[in-house]
């Protein structure tokens, strides 16, 4: 046993002592979360979607707590052979087990698409749910990802039939890609598909079409759909809703606007980006079918939705008439790794974050690149100070603005409470964005290339979240990232409770008393009074970064 195994066992022993779900406070377990994360990286080839940690996000704050559940087979971590988590499944067309892909298949599920463009087993979180032993990662087959995605193979390829997986259950999302005769009945949340390609495995799938699988609170707010596959079109004729009342000539994408929708961070990481990677390739010729009706969301993102689809969305839940398509995707694509937010994995997608940002710039008519300070005689670089109205507000925004002006910036102070299109313009007109950790920082997607993001961390142990939610994503967006962690004295909590109070000294102790308590203290009651002398070097650094590009 390695040291990590032992350490992990200790954590497990503590966390899994009873057959109960034990809520772990957020702050207290950042360390163990980091550890689990490291472990997952190390053990990833053998790990089904991160079996032990579920994250929950509060709708208002964009912050999480950890929940550890007993049910999820910690021993899978220890044995490379024990990859039995039912969490990760793929239904693919059959292959045999000897690495040669042929049409004469046994029923071993296989995996398609990987970090490179060749057909091989992904070393990411999406492993087949069983048959790991019989799986060999060194296939020589050379079928491009594009072919695998489109399901098209020319003669002479090793593949003789389509080998596109039909239903996929990955770490963070599940989706079915159906082509053939597909009929959708909203009222019963059923998709019937007589598909053209061969398939093996289950013919009935339950799918929640929202890309934050593993997050119980979010997924509880997502309607579950039943996808029934058949190769026999006659079976469709016998179904109660067989008759096509509305036939559509374009493909459809069915997705949910439940979950954490209307939280800006989640809107992008769970819906907008996945929707983009799923639907962009149709070039507008795609019908969106929305489950968990939410007209406010459609209105909030109307420009984006219009860019992706030439048709008005259909709220499908109440539809009693059968809608028919020849191609439907139920659910959305998402980066296959569990802890990746606001990110597209270009090896798993036709698109990258650069493509996504270019798409946003086209959609909202934005400029491409930040100014350099060399140009600054003509135009001073602008800094956006993101203000917040109720919680984690800047006590001294005026002083911050003055300091920024002294450094050489033109200052814009704004709160992200206008419409997306208008705020996108505001953000995009700036070269630096500074804000306290929170969903408002998601607006970094609208910053021009090479701009700088400054994230301010309140007290309470936000390092890991700050990194996962904004620092790592900013790098994928070709932005520069700076961080400023406040000292306890800069938090209003000190004024309120005193320097020696447990709340200031030991956030983890507060976290142990429960999520609501933690949230109310650090996310709601805490405002930030920045020490200008400490902040100023960060502003100077941002200014200098704009010169270097
Ligand atoms: C794959 O198929 C080729 C030709 O059909 C055969 O020569 C080779 O031995 C097979 N590979 C394996 C690993 O079975
Ligand atoms: C497929 O497998 C079956 C039984 O395993 C065998 O009878 C048949 O000849 C195989 N077909 C091809 C094309 O290899
Ligand atoms: C894909 O496989 C081919 C042939 O095996 C190889 O030449 C090529 O470098 C591979 N591509 C990648 C991206 O690994
Ligand atoms: C996946 O494989 C690629 C190439 O083999 C490697 O560079 C990468 O680090 C691997 N990723 C993980 C998470 O193991
Ligand atoms: C995979 O198959 C190749 C060729 O059949 C073999 O040399 C290799 O040892 C196998 N790898 C594993 C991990 O079984
Ligand atoms: C697989 O690729 C390796 C190296 O490219 C080659 O030596 C081997 O013969 C190939 N095996 C098959 C079955 O094509
Ligand atoms: C098929 O579905 C059942 C019930 O959902 C599940 O228990 C079983 O593991 C699935 N089998 C495969 C091969 O996916
Ligand atoms: C469909 O219904 C017809 C008549 O009711 C029956 O003969 C046929 O077997 C049914 N087909 C299926 C696939 O159930
Ligand atoms: C934080 O600042 C906001 C806005 O000024 C204010 O409404 C709120 O009461 C402040 N909260 C605390 C705990 O000071």
pLDDT of the chain, 549 residues: tens digit per residue:
444 433 333 233 333 233 323 333 333 333 333 333 332 222 222 222 322 223 333 233 333 333 323 233 232 222 333 222 333 333 332 222 222 222 222 222 212 222 222 222 222 322 222 222 122 222 222 223 332 233 333 323 333 344 567 999 999 999 999 999 999 999 999 999 998 877 777 889 999 999 999 999 999 999 999 999 988 777 776 666 667 889 999 999 999 999 999 999 999 999 999 999 999 999 999 999 999 999 999 999 999 999 999 999 999 999 999 999 999 999 999 999 999 999 999 888 999 999 999 999 999 999 888 877 666 566 899 999 999 988 999 999 999 999 999 999 999 999 998 899 999 999 999 999 999 999 999 999 999 999 999 999 999 988 999 999 999 999 999 999 999 999 999 999 999 999 999 999 999 888 888 878 888 899 899 999 999 999 999 999 999 999 876
The whole-number pLDDT of residue 372 equals 72
The whole-number pLDDT of residue 234 equals 73
431 vs 424: CA distance, rounded Å? 13
- Establish whether residue 491 lines the binding site of ligand 9, counting it when its CB lies within 6 angstroms of any ligand atom: no
The whole-number pLDDT of residue 96 equals 28
DSSP count for the chain of H helices, then E strands: 19, 19
The whole-number pLDDT of residue 374 equals 66
Nearest in space to 523 (alpha carbons), one of 18, 59, 39:
59
The whole-number pLDDT of residue 504 equals 94
The whole-number pLDDT of residue 66 equals 31
The whole-number pLDDT of residue 511 equals 86
Q: Tell whether pTM > 0.75.
A: no
Overall residue count recorded for the chain in this entry = 549
SS3 482: strand
Contact yes or no for 360/303 (Cβ under 8 A) = no
The whole-number pLDDT of residue 282 equals 98
SS3 518: helix
386 vs 417: CA distance, rounded Å? 10
Neighbours of 453 (CB within 10 A): 24
Beta bridge partners, 183, equal: 192, 324
Nearest in space to 344 (alpha carbons), one of 357, 362, 331, 363:
357
Ligand 8 interacting residues, C-beta cut-off 6 A = 232, 234-235, 238
Angle separating helix axes 532-547 and 397-407, nearest 10 degrees: 40
Contact yes or no for 63/465 (Cβ under 8 A) = yes
Contact yes or no for 18/504 (Cβ under 8 A) = no
The whole-number pLDDT of residue 307 equals 98
- Phi, then psi, of 55 in degrees rounded to 5: -110, 145
Neighbours of 402 (CB within 10 A): 13
Which residue's CA is minimally distant from atom 13 of ligand 8? 235
Q: Where are the beta strands (DSSP E) in 468-516?
A: 480-485
**Burial zone of 258 (CB within 10 Å; 0-12 exposed, 13-18 middle, 19+ buried):** buried
**Burial zone of 390 (CB within 10 Å; 0-12 exposed, 13-18 middle, 19+ buried):** exposed
Q: What is each CA distance from 298 to 8, 60, 333, 487, in whole angstroms?
A: 44, 19, 19, 40
- Establish whether residue 525 lines the binding site of ligand 9, counting it when its CB lies within 6 angstroms of any ligand atom: yes
340 vs 343: CA distance, rounded Å? 6
- Establish whether residue 100 lines the binding site of ligand 1, counting it when its CB lies within 6 angstroms of any ligand atom: yes
**Burial zone of 15 (CB within 10 Å; 0-12 exposed, 13-18 middle, 19+ buried):** buried
What is the C-alpha R_g of the chain?
25
Pocket test for ligand 7, best of 48, 83, 85, 86 (most atoms within 8 A of CB): 86
226 vs 208: CA distance, rounded Å? 9
- Establish whether residue 201 lines the binding site of ligand 7, counting it when its CB lies within 6 angstroms of any ligand atom: yes
The whole-number pLDDT of residue 198 equals 76
Q: Let me know the angle formed at the C-alpha of 444 by 443 and 449, rounded to the nearest 5 degrees.
A: 140
Contact yes or no for 155/188 (Cβ under 8 A) = no
Pocket test for ligand 5, best of 80, 83, 136, 139 (most atoms within 8 A of CB): 136
Nearest in space to 184 (alpha carbons), one of 142, 246, 234, 96:
246
Number of Cα atoms under 13 Å in the Cβ half of residue 517:
14
Beta bridge partners, 386, equal: 414
Pairing of β 410-415 and β 382-387: parallel
Which residue's CA is minimally distant from atom 13 of ligand 1? 98
Which residue's CA is minimally distant from atom 14 of ligand 4? 123
In ligand 3, the atom with minimum distance to the C-alpha of 142 is 2
Contact yes or no for 165/92 (Cβ under 8 A) = yes
Pairing of β 167-169 and β 174-185: antiparallel
Instruction: Write the Ramachandran bin of 292: left for phi over 0, alpha for psi from -120 to 50, otherwise beta.
Output: left
The whole-number pLDDT of residue 376 equals 53
308 vs 329: CA distance, rounded Å? 15
Pairing of β 174-185 and β 246-247: unpaired
- Establish whether residue 527 lines the binding site of ligand 9, counting it when its CB lies within 6 angstroms of any ligand atom: yes
In ligand 3, the atom with minimum distance to the C-alpha of 116 is 13
């Amino acid at each position: 046993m390695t040291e990590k195994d032992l350490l992990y066992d200790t954590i497990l022993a503590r966390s899994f002592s009873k057959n109960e779900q034990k809520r772990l406070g957020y702050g207290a377990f950042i360390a163990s979360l980091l550890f689990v994360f490291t472990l997952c990286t190390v053990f990833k080839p053998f790990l089904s979607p991160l079996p032990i940690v579920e994250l929950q996000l509060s709708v208002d704050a964009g912050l999480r707590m950890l929940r550890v559940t007993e049910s999820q087979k910690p021993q899978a971590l220890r044995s490379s052979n024990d990859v039995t988590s039912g969490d990760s499944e793929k239904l693919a067309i059959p292959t045999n087990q000897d690495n040669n892909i042929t049409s004469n298949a046994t029923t071993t599920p296989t995996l398609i698409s990987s970090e490179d463009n060749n057909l091989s087993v992904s070393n990411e979180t999406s492993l087949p749910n069983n048959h790991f032993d019989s799986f060999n990662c060194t296939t020589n087959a050379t079928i491009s990802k594009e072919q695998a995605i489109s399901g098209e193979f020319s003669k002479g390829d090793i593949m003789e039939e389509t080998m596109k997986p039909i239903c996929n259950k990955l770490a963070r999302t599940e989706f079915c890609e159906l082509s053939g005769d597909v009929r959708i009945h909203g009222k019963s949340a059923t998709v019937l598909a007589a598909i053209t390609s061969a398939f093996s495995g289950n013919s009935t799938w339950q799918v929640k079409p929202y890309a934050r699988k593993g997050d119980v609170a979010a997924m509880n707010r997502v309607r579950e759909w039943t996808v029934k596959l058949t190769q026999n079109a006659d079976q469709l004729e016998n179904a109660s809703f067989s008759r096509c009342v509305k036939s559509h000539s374009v493909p459809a994408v069915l997705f949910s606007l439940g979950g954490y929708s209307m939280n800006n961070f989640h809107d992008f990481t769970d819906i907008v980006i996945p929707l983009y990677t799923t639907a962009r390739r149709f070039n507008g010729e795609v019908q969106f079918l929305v489950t968990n009706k939410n007209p406010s969301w459609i209105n909030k993102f109307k420009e984006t939705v219009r860019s992706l689809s030439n048709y008005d969305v259909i709220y499908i839940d109440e539809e009693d008439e059968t809608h028919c398509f020849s191609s439907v995707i139920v659910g959305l694509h998402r980066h296959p790794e569990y802890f990746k937010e606001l990110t597209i994995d270009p090896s798993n997608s036709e698109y990258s974050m650069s493509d996504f940002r270019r798409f946003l710039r086209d959609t909202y008519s934005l400029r491409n690149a930040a100014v350099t300070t060399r140009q600054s005689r003509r135009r001073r670089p602008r800094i956006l100070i993101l203000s917040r109205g109720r919680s984690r507000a800047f006590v001294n925004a005026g002083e911050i603005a003055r300091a920024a002006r002294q450094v050489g910036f033109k200052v814009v102070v704004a709160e992200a409470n206008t419409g997306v299109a208008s705020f996108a313009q505001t953000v995009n007109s700036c070269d630096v964005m500074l804000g306290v950790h929170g969903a408002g920082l998601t607006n970094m997607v609208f910053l021009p290339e090479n701009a700088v993001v400054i994230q301010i961390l309140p007290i309470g142990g936000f390092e890991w979240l700050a990194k996962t939610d904004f620092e790592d994503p900013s790098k994928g967006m070709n932005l520069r990232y700076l961080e400023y962690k406040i000292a306890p004295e800069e938090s209003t909590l000190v004024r309120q409770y005193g320097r020696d109070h447990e709340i200031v000294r030991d956030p983890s102790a507060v976290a142990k008393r429960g999520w609501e308590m933690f949230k109310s203290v650090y996310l709601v009651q805490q405002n930030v009074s920045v020490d200008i002398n400490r902040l100023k070097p960060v502003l100077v650094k941002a200014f200098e970064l704009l010169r270097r590009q």
